[in-house]
Chain A
């Protein structure tokens, strides 16, 4: 549990750094379009979390093949790719600076990695109790 506490503190620092990078990428050039990246990456685990509940039935739990879970996975990976592609597209058409593009991609990656690592750690704790 002590390791869990350290993990939580570390992940919160990483999350703060990620949001710092995204907000800096917006504020340094006074162009708030890269904030969409933060919104996208925060929304990314949502379809998996919603549709994954369809798997948690009593007997179909050992087999991960239901159609609803597939829809969740499809939407999740679409949203993740959207989060990486959006700043590149904006930088390509010179709406935002390339530096803002790089900063918002790194920040978004940190935010999404935090969410993934947190859910993975939480799931491991849950399976310890089972």
Chain B
């Protein structure tokens, strides 16, 4: 009498099971796509301001190398954070032998996030010191806003990429058990 169910779950509550939307399977890929899109968006926001600064006639203020520094710091931090092996951070010494590797990995993670936070803080400081306090018109305040949103997007991109990759490694861990 019992109907053969392909995916019978004894813990279920309803007779008709909820449609199992398997976003989990694609969460990893979607996270990586979103991170890449945010990375490109961050770059283009700042390049837009830089190209605009090059093409405006009779400008009061240009985008100079100082404006590029927070973005460069953020990209450096992004690269450092993503080069770290995620399994080293968790501190299970299954294969790393001593605790020194974990300590070093955490140090590099700290340096990477310090670069990114430094870039964000630097962009805010640059906006306040170079554009806001000198009371330029709204057209030039846009350069500072673009710089801040660039660094915010870099940080969001790094966080989303980290979450996507670490969630997938958890899944792999459960699968291995």
Contacts and interface: CB of A to CB of B under 8 A. Distances in A.
Interface in B21-38: 28-29, 32-37
B63 interface: no
B138 to A, nearest CB: 15
A23 B142 CA distance: 32
Interface of B: 28-29, 32-37, 39-41, 44, 47-48, 51-52, 54-56, 161, 165, 168-169, 172, 175
B172 A63 contact: yes
Given A63-B172, A85-B44, A77 B55 contact: no
Interface residues of A, number: 23
B40 A78 contact: yes
The 4 nearest A-B residue pairs measured at CB: A77-B36, A81-B40, A85-B44, A74-B36
Interface of A: 63-65, 70, 73-82, 85-86, 88-90, 92-95
B32 A74 contact: yes
Contact of B172 (A65, A77, A78): A65
Given A81-B37, A82-B40, A70 B165 contact: yes
A95 B41 CA distance: 20
A74 B55 contact: no
A19 B164 CA distance: 35
B36 to A, nearest CB: 4
Nearest to A82: B40
A127 to B, nearest CB: 16
Given A81-B41, A85-B44, A93 B34 contact: no
Contacts of B172: 63, 65
B100 to A, nearest CB: 24
Contacts of A89: 44, 47-48, 51
Nearest to A70: B32
A61 to B, nearest CB: 14
Contact of A92 (B39, B48, B161, B168): B48
Nearest to B39: A78
8 contacts: A63-B172, A64-B29, A65-B168, A75-B36, A76-B36, A82-B40, A93-B52, A93-B55
Contact of B33 (A76, A92, A93, A95): A76
Given A70-B165, A73-B32, A82 B48 contact: no
Given A64-B28, A70-B32, A81-B44, A93 B37 contact: no
Nearest to A77: B36
A46 B17 CA distance: 40
A103 to B, nearest CB: 19
A65 B28 contact: yes
Contacts of A77: 32-37, 40
